[in-house]
Amino acid sequence: MSVANPYNPLFSADETLPFVGREDVFSFFRQHLVGAPLTHGLVLIGRRGLGKTALLHHLAGQIDERYRLCLVPLTDLDLTGEERLLAALTEAIYATLEAAGVSTYRIPAWPAASPDGTLSDPRAWFKDEFLSVVMAALRLRHLLLAFDDAHLLFDAQEHGALPQDFFAYWADLLGTYKRLALIFALDAAYEDRVLNTELLSNPTLHLRLAELPREDAERLIREPVEGVWQLDPQVVEGILTLADGHPFLLHSICRLLFRRSEERHHAGPVTPHDLAAIHDAALDQADEILRPLWQHLTQNEQSTLIALVKLDKEAPGEAFSFDALRGWLLGAGYAMGKTQLAAALRGLVYNGLAVVQEDTYSVPAHLIADWVQANFRASQPPPPVQPARPARVRLPLLGLLIVLIAVMALGIAALAGLWENAEQEATPGTALSTATLSLNLEGTRRAEFASQTAQALPTATPTATHTPSLTPSPTVTETPQASATPRPARTPRPTRTPITIAPTPMPAQPVTPVSTPAGTATLDPGG
């Protein structure tokens, strides 16, 4: 028996695809499409692949018959200008009325453009001329405009293709025509922008789409192929384990299994071996919805999902506590505090990538875990870089003190040499040599700045520093016949401001220079 494949993860209005469940969503619309006229739009929020488009296509048969549903797929329309959008809406509404058997002979056609190719005021024409005739033709019935992929309106507005008061214009239309109602179905990533738009800001008129409950997911697997093939009970459980209640993943797996069974003319049941054979293909198709979702996550959310997947691979089917997740993250080098981890887990639950039960967390669909396991290496955020250990710096006050001691010691040494040689005969016209100490003030300033910077680092570990010590020589050995100029054991580096210590010469007494002993320590603050 030849039967068309009843599964397709990418919904198409041209196909008759199975649709089960969503009674809570239909009840939401039935509840709000009665009673007082709406002054705000109804908002259907959901992630990609949860079935927003399919639900809108089945909405007409679930609401009061007085409503004429006009479904507007914005992905098929030209959104490069408001005039083009209003012209497309005119055609869509006209087609809806004709399909419903409403008289359309009085409804005006889109007016001819002016010589420059534009209308003088398309808004006024659409509101005062077109919609007034449409609502009169409907008599007591209502017009329900449903904008699918309505987040594209926000994108067009952001790019300047639609005016900033676009949504305010539609709020004015709702206030003018009491039998007009609006539905906006959009991606969950735009939820914050919805709340900041006056037309859509009433949270009581928002419905957030979730995965199918388990019983509806099992119905979606079994009912479309009932009497066509046989499913091993383990296969049904395996599909639910891989896809949970995600409609896109359920359709993807079942479509691949149907093709495999179709190749053998549906002879024999579909077994776990078949499920294992199509796993890689299902993983590739899952990239269609998981990659954009992954890219939308924050770095902390990505890291936390990786931790959850790693723990799940070590203990499949188990749920993990907050402390277990944080322990894995810290052990892997992710510096994440408790508050950051709690926020990341809330984000994962919100995006359907984690479920929480009794303070434990798990991945809802194993196909999600398999996809992360196969792709996270290329996208895994690097562990936080550990702060570099500070360079060996001298404490500023101690360094300055050592410099002052060195200056004083060399000065005393010079003076001591002067007075000891004053008793000897001095050569007329010969003055004492000048002792010069290079004080590296710039080096000292940099050392002080580096020390303050190191102290300000939140996680810096103090590093032991080596403090040079000045060891004065206990004795000075005189060289009676020395004629060479005294010089230090090591030449100091040049600095900005040399400090010169020049004792007052004693012209009446000859002075014999005293050489500095080789063992005398010198201090170079900039070294």
The pLDDT of residue 443 is: 52
Q: What angle do CA 463, 469, 474 make, to 5 degrees?
A: 165
The pLDDT of residue 402 is: 72
The separation between the first and the last C-alpha atoms of the chain, rounded to the nearest angstrom, is 91
Q: Which CATH number fits domain 297-379: 1.10.10.10, 3.30.420.240, 1.10.1200.10, 3.90.870.30?
A: 1.10.10.10
The pLDDT of residue 358 is: 87
Q: What angle do CA 440, 441, 443 make, to 5 degrees?
A: 70
The pLDDT of residue 65 is: 87
The pLDDT of residue 70 is: 96
Question: Which residues have CB under 8 Å from 509's CB, separation 6+?
Answer: 421, 422, 423, 424, 425, 426
How remote is the C-alpha of 417 from its chain's centroid?
Answer: 73
Here the tokens at position 68 are: 């004429």
Nearest partner of 369 among 414, 439, 289, 310, judged by Cα: 310
Rounded distance between C-alpha atoms, residue 370 and residue 275, angstroms: 14
Q: CATH assignment of 23-111+121-208?
A: 3.40.50.300
List the chain pLDDT tens, one digit each, 527 residues: 578 889 999 888 777 777 888 999 999 999 999 888 899 999 999 999 999 999 999 999 899 889 999 999 999 999 999 999 999 999 999 999 999 899 898 999 888 877 776 677 899 999 999 999 999 999 999 999 999 999 999 999 999 999 999 999 999 999 999 999 999 999 999 999 999 999 999 999 999 999 999 999 999 999 988 888 888 889 999 999 999 999 999 999 999 999 999 998 888 889 999 999 999 999 999 999 999 999 999 999 999 999 999 999 999 889 999 999 999 999 998 889 999 999 999 999 999 999 999 889 999 999 999 999 998 763 444 444 444 444 444 445 556 667 677 667 666 655 555 444 444 443 444 443 434 334 454 455 455 544 554 444 444 444 444 444 434 444 344 444 444 444 444 444 444 444 444 444 444 444 444 444 444 444 343 43
Q: Is 202 in contact with 165 (CB distance < 8 Å)?
A: no
- Residue 446 CB burial class (10 angstroms; 0-12, 13-18, ≥19): middle
Domain boundaries of the chain, sorted by first residue: 23-111+121-208, 297-379, 395-455+467-476
CA distances from 98 to 25, 70, 86, 163, 236 (A): 28, 11, 19, 31, 44
